């Protein structure tokens, strides 16, 4: 617990209204989009970079854990205050400070909601492509801290590809102003890239300069139905081999299709093993149409039983509604779900889908799968019931098997959700001891007291023994500090 | 000098033929594409990652400077063996190990020449866009170490955007295997990005996995002539505001145009203040044509006196010949030239061109300017004669004024050439003491003995005093160690 003196100091920095320490207030900052829950000792809501730096100086002086938080939409436990301490909520820092049309970039505070920003830049004919599923809630600061992705990454790249400048407050309160409105910059080490995807463990992002691109004038969307899963995998290769780089190549497997159909009754084919949702954009309607036709032909040649191209905005919207509903539709099927985020080389997508299905069967879980097939980034979901005795232990074994399968196929633990608490124990398996050692050395150089988002990203357990990697995490049933 | 024992150890690692220590042999590794020259004590040409690691262990044990070297095309002094020591030439490690069409990526050794690689992937319908001007000599390892750019970066991004995996040998001989064939990866800190642009100061790159994209089927090229420089600047803004993101938007100023015309006699307009070379590509010939027409219209509206679209491959080639000849054409005009590489926010390009011209006039230099206007990345060249008394001192003052002008306009010291020795003394001005401190802390964490490419990237002088930043560098006339 923080003592009264520290709370007084925090109030002096951000104002009385913006330090919250009552139990009822803390509960709101104790969870994210996973099943975990652990309350902080205080929540501080700064308004300026200077306030953030002052809070950090205080926390660093006294060795108090400080957990930066955007909208709390993490699917990896990235912002759970495992160790107590101060949650630093950046939601009040939500100004779009500038949209610079001439330099096609924008300067924003970290608490701006992704979708709000996208709408603002689209009004002036510009486009910010990264589109994590949580974009109506997630904040740009969180997007940068996790290097967020989304369906459009195949053509447009991930959040990292849009960050031109960052203001970052370090653990000791020093403030770095990195980059700016220039597109290219090789002056020194690429620190902007180092802070991107650092999940709040190296510094607190207080301002972001984002690159924008011209808003494409035309879009075309198609859905391809595959009786056989392997054919959908071949289609992905064939599409990219056709010379077209679509905006999206989204996969849903049979169970995911059925979950959506149960939910939306759209007439999706329940017996298809896979569905690909494909979108292309561009400035020439004819070129976009041509490319979608090339894609459709590639899908048919590789075994699609049906390819439908949306002929109206309403049809396009219906196809996307199906894709966007996947997560909610899956959620209706069981009391709990956990969504994984593994990546494999694109050619291994069908094999990975098969392995996930086998792992689900072996451990007794339904495992609907969807994801960004063009990027090899899959979201296998496990449906479970946390109240069942032994369920979490079984889930732990199944999730570990999925991670091992991804690594075995030349893949990685996470494509866009981050490591957080959920995957930290597998970091050494994924990266090797030497690489992890270098990451620890960088963490030590920037945050020697380890106050920033402790317990995230780095393994806590001993090499090779990952038991408890899920079951030992704090939840509502066993709040942190009371075990 | 290295003693015989060390030379014997080096020979035991890479074989007798691949350790070179005679004065005549060392001269070949004493320079790069700048005016600097300093000989190493030995040149070692390894063939494998294991050999690189073994050489590093030896150098680290004895505190011997180790300077990684690709083709030596650095324009910033990045690979000059300032301090003597071992030059580690990666040119023998030049296998294209795999072109993986299904996963649209390739695995290469660092010594592969950029153009050789591009030709190889284009044969199978794939495309590696980064195109530094030195691409017929430069190596992919050097491209990654410097985050090389080129004209196509406006649409396609820089080298960094294509690096999926790296094998890196650290100063102490530990070997990190980072990333792989996956497109997305947020497992841990983005170390791949940290080693990219590190100019050989953090580790030696021994293998690279590069992302590829489909080879566009059609290209269209245009040249726009501007009687007034400001109008060319407005044209860049108008083009990007038109919703088109061209592959290239290359600028040549009046003096650069005249240098090329003196050289090639192509009929370029000698009285034009600026010329823009614009290229677009895509899969639909009609869409590419439409976009080039949109661009041409934007140029005319902003004041272009003439816009010519190449109607045949020969015409296109002629336009590019003019652009590619700029550097050689400028070189014919004076005994020496130095090419700078500043970046400003795109809207500041006309102002930066004006400031460079004024600085040239004030210090008595001709300053032809060309560069990547769409990226705000300009290459102002200073024409000079190193033998003239006082010339280098004047050049030093003029170059410093250019750096200050770029920083003053919100720009950076380098967009694609790197910092090397030429700009190191301006790093604190550009980045601030705190950011430089973080970079030093990372360098210290990864290379505590400071053996890797010493004297590069970081300032050696005292804050604020940059005198001697050019004139004190070793040259042919005053070889290192003999001053």
Q: What ipTM is given for this predicted complex?
A: 0.95
Residues from chain A that touch B283, judged by Cβ atoms under 8 A, are 243-244, 287, 290-291, 294
Residue A94 pLDDT > 80: yes
- Among the partner residues B197, B240, B435, nearest to A214 by beta-carbon distance: B240
pLDDT digits (tens, 9 = 90+) for B455-471: 999 999 766 778 888 88
Chain-chain contact of B181 with A410 (C-beta, under 8 angstroms)? yes
Chain-chain contact of A185 with B435 (C-beta, under 8 angstroms)? no
Q: Which residues pair with A313 in a beta bridge?
A: none
The candidate with the shortest Cα–Cα distance to B414, out of A413, A162, A182, A171, is: A182
Indicate the helix (H) or strand (E) that contains A179: strand A175-179
DSSP B244: -
> Comparing A371 with A462, which gets the higher pLDDT?
A371
pLDDT at position A463: 64
Chain-chain contact of B180 with A417 (C-beta, under 8 angstroms)? no
* Rounded Cα–Cα distance for residues B156 and A326 (Å): 32
How close is the nearest chain A Cα to the Cα of B74, in Å?
14
Residue B480 pLDDT > 80: no
Mean local confidence (pLDDT), B274-289: 93
pLDDT digits (tens, 9 = 90+) for B171-224: 999 999 999 999 999 999 999 999 999 999 999 999 999 999 999 999 999 999
Mean local confidence (pLDDT), B367-392: 94
What's the alpha-carbon Rg for chain A, to the nearest Å? 23
- H-assigned helices in B28-108: 49-62
Closest residue in B to A411 (Cα–Cα):
B182
DSSP B215: P
What is chain B's length? 483
pLDDT digits (tens, 9 = 90+) for A382-405: 999 988 999 999 999 999 999 999
pLDDT digits (tens, 9 = 90+) for A303-351: 999 999 999 999 999 999 899 899 899 999 999 999 999 999 999 999 9
How close is the nearest chain A Cα to the Cα of B117, in Å?
19
Task: Compute φ and ψ for A11, nearest 5 degrees.
Answer: -65, -35
Lookup: tokens for B351: 């102002």
Residue A478 pLDDT > 80: no
Q: Which residues pair with A378 in a beta bridge?
A: A342, A371
* Rounded Cα–Cα distance for residues B106 and B116 (Å): 13
Structure confidence at residue A356 as a pLDDT band (50, 70, 90): very high
DSSP B468: T
pLDDT at position A310: 93
* Rounded Cα–Cα distance for residues A24 and A223 (Å): 47
Closest residue in B to A188 (Cα–Cα):
B457
Residues from chain B that touch A441, judged by Cβ atoms under 8 A, are 445-446
Structure confidence at residue B477 as a pLDDT band (50, 70, 90): low
How close is the nearest chain B Cα to the Cα of A353, in Å?
16
pLDDT digits (tens, 9 = 90+) for A149-180: 999 999 999 999 999 999 999 999 999 999 99
* Rounded Cα–Cα distance for residues B327 and B349 (Å): 20
pLDDT at position B116: 98
pLDDT at position B445: 97
How close is the nearest chain B Cα to the Cα of A123, in Å?
13
A30 touches A40 (CB < 8 A): yes
pLDDT digits (tens, 9 = 90+) for A11-42: 999 999 999 999 888 999 999 998 899 999 99
Lookup: tokens for B188: 């841990």
A477's CB contacts (< 8 A; 6+ apart) are: A386
Mutate to test the interface with A, among B122, B145, B189, B290 (most CBs of A within 10 A): B189
Mean local confidence (pLDDT), B234-248: 91
Instruction: Give the percent of chain A with pLDDT over 90.
Output: 88
pLDDT at position B240: 87
pLDDT digits (tens, 9 = 90+) for B140-161: 999 999 999 999 999 999 999 9
Chain-chain contact of B446 with A444 (C-beta, under 8 angstroms)? no
How close is the nearest chain B Cα to the Cα of A104, in Å?
8
Dmax over CA atoms of chain A, in Å, equals: 71
Residues from chain A that touch B182, judged by Cβ atoms under 8 A, are 343-345, 376, 410-412, 415
* Rounded Cα–Cα distance for residues B313 and B123 (Å): 19
- Among the partner residues A181, A184, A445, nearest to B377 by beta-carbon distance: A184
How close is the nearest chain B Cα to the Cα of A9, in Å?
26
Structure confidence at residue B243 as a pLDDT band (50, 70, 90): confident
How close is the nearest chain A Cα to the Cα of B278, in Å?
17
- Among the partner residues A178, A185, A430, nearest to B187 by beta-carbon distance: A430
Chain-chain contact of B180 with A438 (C-beta, under 8 angstroms)? no
Question: What angle separates helix B4-14 from helix B49-62, to the nearest 10 degrees?
Answer: 160
Structure confidence at residue A201 as a pLDDT band (50, 70, 90): very high
How close is the nearest chain A Cα to the Cα of B377, in Å?
7
- Among the partner residues B105, B243, B423, nearest to A214 by beta-carbon distance: B243
Residue B431 pLDDT > 90: yes
pLDDT at position A415: 95
* Rounded Cα–Cα distance for residues B152 and B148 (Å): 11
* Rounded Cα–Cα distance for residues A87 and A26 (Å): 9
Mean local confidence (pLDDT), A272-300: 94
pLDDT at position B290: 92
* Rounded Cα–Cα distance for residues A28 and B222 (Å): 58
Mutate to test the interface with B, among A144, A145, A165, A183 (most CBs of B within 10 A): A183
- Among the partner residues B187, B214, B287, nearest to A240 by beta-carbon distance: B214
Closest residue in B to A172 (Cα–Cα):
B434
B335 touches B247 (CB < 8 A): no
pLDDT at position A477: 60
pLDDT at position A479: 43
pLDDT at position A480: 40
pLDDT at position A462: 65
Structure confidence at residue A467 as a pLDDT band (50, 70, 90): confident
Residues from chain B that touch A146, judged by Cβ atoms under 8 A, are 186
* Rounded Cα–Cα distance for residues A384 and A397 (Å): 13
Structure confidence at residue B24 as a pLDDT band (50, 70, 90): confident
Secondary structure in 3-state letters for B185-244: CCCCCCHHHHHCCCCCCCCEEEEEEEECEECCCEEEEEEEEECCHHHHHHHHHHHHHCCC
pLDDT at position A209: 98
For the four alpha carbons of A342, A344, A347 and A348, in that order, the dihedral sign comes to negative
Query: What average pLDDT does chain B have?
Result: 94
Chain-chain contact of B196 with A182 (C-beta, under 8 angstroms)? no
* Rounded Cα–Cα distance for residues A43 and A29 (Å): 7
Chain-chain contact of A182 with B343 (C-beta, under 8 angstroms)? yes
Question: For B313-400, where are the E strands, in sequence order?
Answer: 336-339, 342-343, 369-372, 377-384
Look at phi and psi of residue B379 and say left if phi exceeds 0, alpha if psi is from -120 to 50, else beta: beta
- Count of helix runs (H) and strand runs (E) in chain A: 16, 19
* Rounded Cα–Cα distance for residues A222 and A208 (Å): 35
Question: For B283-340, where are the E strands, in sequence order?
Answer: 306-309, 336-339
Structure confidence at residue A243 as a pLDDT band (50, 70, 90): confident
* Rounded Cα–Cα distance for residues A160 and B164 (Å): 13
Query: What average pLDDT does chain A have?
Result: 94
Q: Is B260 helix (H, G, I), strand (E, B) or coil?
A: helix
pLDDT at position A475: 84
Chain-chain contact of A183 with B346 (C-beta, under 8 angstroms)? yes
């Amino acid at each position: 617990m923080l003592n009264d003196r520290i709370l007084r100091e925090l109030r002096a920095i951000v104002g009385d209204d913006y330090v919250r320490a009552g139990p009822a207030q803390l509960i709101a900052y104790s969870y994210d989009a996973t099943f975990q829950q652990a309350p902080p000792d205080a929540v501080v809501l700064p308004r300026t970079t200077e306030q953030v730096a002052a809070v950090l100086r205080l926390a660093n002086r006294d060795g108090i854990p400080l957990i930066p938080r955007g909208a709390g939409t993490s699917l990896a436990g990235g912002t759970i205050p495992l160790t107590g301490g101060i949650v630093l909520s950046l939601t009040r820092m939500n100004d779009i400070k500038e949209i610079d049309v001439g330099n096609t970039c924008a300067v924003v505070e970290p608490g701006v909601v992704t979708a709000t920003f996208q709408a603002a830049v689209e009004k002036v004919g510009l486009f910010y492509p990264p589109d994590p599923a949580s974009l109506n809630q997630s904040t740009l600061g969180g997007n940068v801290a996790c290097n967020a992705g989304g369906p459009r990454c195949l053509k447009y790249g991930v959040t990292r590809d849009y960050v031109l400048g960052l203001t970052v407050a370090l653990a000791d309160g020093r403030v770095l102003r990195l980059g700016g409105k220039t597109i290219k910059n090789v002056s020194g080490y690429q620190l902007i890239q180092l802070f991107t995807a650092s999940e709040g463990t190296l510094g607190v992002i207080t301002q972001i300069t984002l690159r924008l691109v011209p808003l494409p004038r035309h879009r075309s969307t198609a859905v391809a139905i595959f009786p056989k899963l392997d054919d959908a995998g071949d289609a992905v290769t064939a599409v990219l081999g056709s010379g077209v780089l679509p905006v999206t190549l989204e996969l849903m497997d049979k169970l995911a299709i059925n979950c959506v159909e149960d939910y939306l009754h759209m007439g999706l084919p329940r017996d298809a093993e896979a569905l690909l949702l494909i979108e292309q954009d561009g400035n020439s309607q004819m070129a976009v149409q041509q490319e979608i036709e090339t894609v459709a032909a590639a899908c048919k040649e590789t075994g699609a039983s049906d390819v439908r191209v949306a002929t109206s905005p309403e049809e396009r919207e219906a196809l996307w509604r199906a894709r966007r509903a996947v997560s909610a539709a899956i959620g209706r099927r069981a009391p709990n779900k956990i969504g994984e985020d593994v990546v494999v080389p694109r050619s291994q997508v069908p094999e990975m889908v098969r392995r996930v299905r086998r792992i689900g069967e072996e451990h007794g879980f339904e495992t609907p799968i969807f994801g960004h097939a063009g990027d090899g980034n899959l979201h296998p979901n496990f449906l479970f019931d946390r109240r069942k005795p032994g369920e979490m232990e079984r889930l732990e074994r199944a999730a570990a098997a999925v991670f091992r399968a991804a690594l075995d196929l030349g893949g990685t633990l996470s494509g866009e959700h981050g490591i957080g608490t959920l995957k930290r124990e597998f970091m050494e398996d994924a990266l090797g001891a030497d690489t992890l050692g270098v990451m620890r050395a960088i963490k030590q150089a920037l945050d020697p007291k380890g106050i920033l988002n402790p317990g995230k990203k780095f393994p806590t357990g001993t090499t090779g023994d990952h038991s408890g990697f899920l079951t030992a995490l704090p939840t509502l049933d066993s709040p942190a500090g009371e075990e």
